Amino acid sequence: MCYSTVNKEKVQKTIIKCMPAFENILSGKDWDRVIQHYLRRVDNIPKDYNGLITSSCLMDLIICSLGEGKIAKANKETINAINDEICKALAYCDYHPQFMGKVKDIIRRTIMEMDNDIRVPNSAYKNWINELFVFNLLAKKKNCELVDIERPMANGNKCDFVCKIDNNEEIYFEVVTIQRIDPSQQDDSTTMNDFIKERVKVKYQEKTRDLLPEDIPNIRIMPIIEYIDGLERFDISLNSDITTEPFAIMKNNLDGIVYIELQPLHLYLSKIRTQLER
Please give the single-letter amino acid code of residue 189: S
3-state secondary structure of 137: helix
Q: Among 135, 128, 237, which residue's Cα sits nearest to residue 176?
A: 128
Q: Indicate the domain borders of the chain.
A: 1-119, 141-278
What is the model's pLDDT at position 242? 96
Burial of 2 (0-12, 13-18, 19+ CB in 10 A): exposed
One digit per residue, the tens of pLDDT, for the chain of length 278 reads 554 456 888 989 999 999 999 999 999 999 999 999 999 998 888 888 888 888 999 999 999 999 889 999 999 999 999 999 999 999 999 999 999 999 999 999 999 999 999 999 999 999 999 999 999 999 999 889 999 999 999 999 999 999 998 888 999 999 999 998 999 999 999 999 999 999 999 999 999 999 999 999 999 999 999 988 899 999 998 989 999 999 999 877 666 666 788 999 998 888 888 877 76
CA 101/CA 196 separation, integer angstroms: 32
Q: Among 233, 264, 238, 235, which residue's Cα sits nearest to residue 249?
A: 264
Query: Half-sphere exposure of 11 toward its Cβ, with a 13 Å CA cutoff?
Result: 20
Is residue 232 a contact partner of residue 267, using CB atoms and an 8 Å limit? no
Is residue 269 a contact partner of residue 231, using CB atoms and an 8 Å limit? yes
What is the model's pLDDT at position 218? 96
pTM, entire model: 0.94
What is the model's pLDDT at position 5? 53
What is the model's pLDDT at position 250? 86
